[in-house]
Amino acid sequence: MDVGWWDSQKNRLIMMELKGKELWKEFDANRETAHEHLVNELAKKVNDTLLILASVWSDTEPGLEIKITLPTKVRKYPGKGKIKFIFLIDTPISRQGLLMPIKDRINQLLSGKTRLFGIAHVTLIDFDKARSMELPVRKTQ
């Protein structure tokens, strides 16, 4: 994931992956396999991050090395419903209909793993939705 932070107002860990408009050029170039490729790439990000967090929370040797770099509130498992994964994709209006099937497939693939960590679902949004959720994001030109 690209960024993560502890949201002290909502007492939760937020992990976010940012994807720009170049994603859609790649999507168009490989139309036949683009959907599954994107789903697999995004699901892999969540899986890898969960494994890293599990190593931190179970105090493995590599996990202890990572733990000392993290904010105190993240050094132990924060509890059910306290971890949020967000994929923020810069999406033109004409492509917004593609987000829901991708999100649904990612959640289908990851549901067993995310439930182990008390995560209900992974969120996939565009910039307008991110702003309405009051996430600290802005577009750059």
Between 98 and 102, whose confidence is greater?
Answer: 102
Please tell me the least confidently modeled range out of 33-37, 52-56, 81-85, 128-132.
33-37
Q: How much is the pLDDT for 92?
A: 75
Give per-residue pLDDT as tens, 23-47. Answer: 767 766 666 667 788 888 899 999 9
Q: What angle do CA 3, 44, 132 make, to 5 degrees?
A: 45
Query: Which pLDDT score, from 0 to 100, does residue 125 have?
Result: 87
> What pLDDT score does 141 carry?
62
Residues near 120 by Cβ (< 8 Å), separated by ≥ 6?
Answer: 81, 114
Please report, in angstroms and rounded to a whole number, the separation of the first and last CA atoms in the chain.
Answer: 22
pLDDT of residue 96: 80
Check: CB of residue 74 under 8 Å from CB of residue 6.
Answer: yes
pLDDT for 64-93, tens place per residue? 999 999 999 999 999 999 999 999 888 777
Task: Over range 112-128, report the average pLDDT.
Answer: 92
Q: How many whole angstroms separate alpha carbon 117 and alpha carbon 54?
A: 9
Q: What span, in angstroms and rounded, lies between the C-alpha atoms of 89 and 101?
A: 14
Hey, what's the torsion of the CAs at 40, 41, 46, 49, to 10 degrees? 130
Q: In the block, which residue shows the tokens 């793993």?
A: 113
